[in-house]
Amino acid sequence: MISLSIADGVAEVVLDAPHKLNSLDEQALADLSRAYDDAADAASRGEVRALLLRGEGRAFCAGRDIAGVTPESDDAQAYLGGLVQPLLKKMSAFPAPTFAAAQGACLGVGLGLLLATDVVYVADNAKFGSPFAKLGATLDSGGHWYFTERLGMHRTLDLIYTAELMSGTEAVAQGLFSRAMPAAELLANTRAIVATVATGATGAFTASKELVAHIRDQRLGLWEAMEEENAEQARLCKSEDYAEGFRAFQEKRTPVFKG
């Protein structure tokens, strides 16, 4: 089950099947995609200025729900290429800052959901890695690229071959995600940060989001990236939030951004 709630400029999307560690079958992926569509529609009306993704229960998402999968007839390409990858692209392109709060198992497609999110905060007891050696399968949902990019070839293949899992604390220490914190504090802390971001200059945030994606995907050099920064700054300087930010600084008060 996937739920979406919107309040005070924040869309909160919840993976709500704790009895199966929020694992995702085809219907759940479709429901999650629809939730992001609905949140994006609200963002286009100015009702959403940040999004939080989380999982209910002791796990964020244990990956694909394989309880009813018959190996002989399984179409992994249809599931991964036809459903998962388009969803992750949609999540990555969401028109506002996105955050995830991740605890417990974050594996397979669950890892992919995090890779498609702008900022990820993890519980110290979160678990990351590639458990697929025990299934005769391999890491999916962008995991090979991300682990190789951040951890290097040797550590990536070590995790794949051994099926050992990293804790949230270790994953943050190795540069995979933004912050680790005690599980009991994760959701409250993340909600507080997201609420603050939702009052910020959304246009400036999305400009940075797009620029970071260009640097990553197009492997921009310093001077190319600087040229894109210059162009974005020139565009932003014509916005209401830019004017408000400068006025507030000059008047020594807190800015009130419209997003």
Specify if 259 maps to a domain.
no
Residue 90's CATH number: 3.90.226.10
Pick from 227, 233, 199: which is nearest to 215 by CA?
A: 227
State the pLDDT at residue 64. Answer: 85
Specify if 87 maps to a domain.
yes
Calpha distance 10→43 (Å, rounded): 9
Distances (CA, A) of 76 to 9, 90, 145, 214, 254: 37, 20, 19, 29, 51
Calpha distance 61→64 (Å, rounded): 8
Q: Which range marks the domain in which residue 244 is found?
A: 202-250
State the pLDDT at residue 75. Answer: 83
Q: Where are the beta strands (DSSP E) in 21-126?
A: 50-55, 98-102, 119-123
Residue 223's CATH number: 1.10.12
Q: Are residues 122 and 152 in the same domain?
A: yes
State the pLDDT at residue 52. Answer: 98
Specify if 257 maps to a domain.
no
Specify if 256 maps to a domain.
no
Q: Are residues 212 and 187 in the same domain?
A: no
Q: Are residues 50 and 19 in the same domain?
A: yes
Residue 248, classified by CB atoms within 10 Å of its CB into exposed (0-12), middle (13-18) or buried (19+), is middle
Amino acid at residue number 121 = Y
| H or E element, residue 202 | helix 202-218
Pick from 126, 120, 149: which is nearest to 52 by CA?
A: 120
State the pLDDT at residue 136. Answer: 87
Q: pTM of the prediction?
A: 0.94
Q: Are residues 235 and 170 in the same domain?
A: no
Q: Are residues 153 and 193 in the same domain?
A: yes
Over the chain (259 residues), the average pLDDT of each successive run of 10 is: 97 97 95 98 97 97 83 81 95 98 97 98 96 88 95 96 96 96 98 98 96 95 96 94 92 92
Per DSSP, 106 falls in state B
Specify if 31 maps to a domain.
yes
State the pLDDT at residue 69. Answer: 76
